[in-house]
Structures are given as structure tokens and as C-alpha cells.
Amino acid sequence: MRTSVTLPDAAYRRAKIIAQRRNQSVSSVIAEMAIRGLDLEDEPDQLATNPVSGLPVIRLGRPITSEDVARMLEEDELADEQ
């Protein structure tokens, strides 16, 4: 199905990089990411306490890596600049 959506510039740039790396179209990458995100909506977030540190831990369906955190911080900085 064809449709039009408006993406933040940072999201489009990331999708384009992934598409180039995978040798896929930007459209197919965005479709895959949308499906993944929609699938996560079906899984409830889980809040727990780390038994070692005692700090709260939120499970979002997959591990959050340091690269994820760096990317999110970069996106926040880009958004603040706009």
C-alpha cells in the first residue's frame, strides 16, 4: 500500500544509511522498522529492580545498547538545534 508520511530529518537520514548498508530501498527499511515498532506495542514494558544495584530497570522488548543511547542523545541535540 502506498501512503505518505512525514519523518523527522534525523529518522530519514538513519533509514537511508541503513538502506545503503543493506543494499535495500529506504521504503523497505522504513516498513521493516515500522513493523518492529508496532510489534513492540503489543509487548508491555516491564519495570523491575536490578538485584545488584537496586536501580530500576525498564525492559522494552530488546536490550538498549550504548550505541542506542548515543544515537538518542545525538537526536536530542539535533532537535534542540532546530
pTM of the model: 0.53
- pLDDT value at position 45? 64
Q: Are residues 32 and 55 in the same domain?
A: no
- pLDDT value at position 16? 93
Q: Are residues 77 and 50 in the same domain?
A: yes
Q: Are residues 38 and 51 in the same domain?
A: no
Number of C-alpha atoms within 13 angstroms, CB side, residue 68? 5
- pLDDT value at position 36? 84
Residues across the chain: 82
- pLDDT value at position 50? 86
pLDDT digits (tens, 9 = 90+) for 26-71: 999 999 999 888 877 766 667 788 899 998 887 766 777 888 888 8
Domain that holds residue 31: 1-42
Q: What is the DSSP string of the chain?
A: --------HHHHHHHHHHHHHHT--HHHHHHHHHHHHHHHHTSPPEEEE-TTT--EEEE-SSPPPHHHHHHHHHHHHHHHH-
Q: Are residues 50 and 78 in the same domain?
A: yes
- pLDDT value at position 20? 94
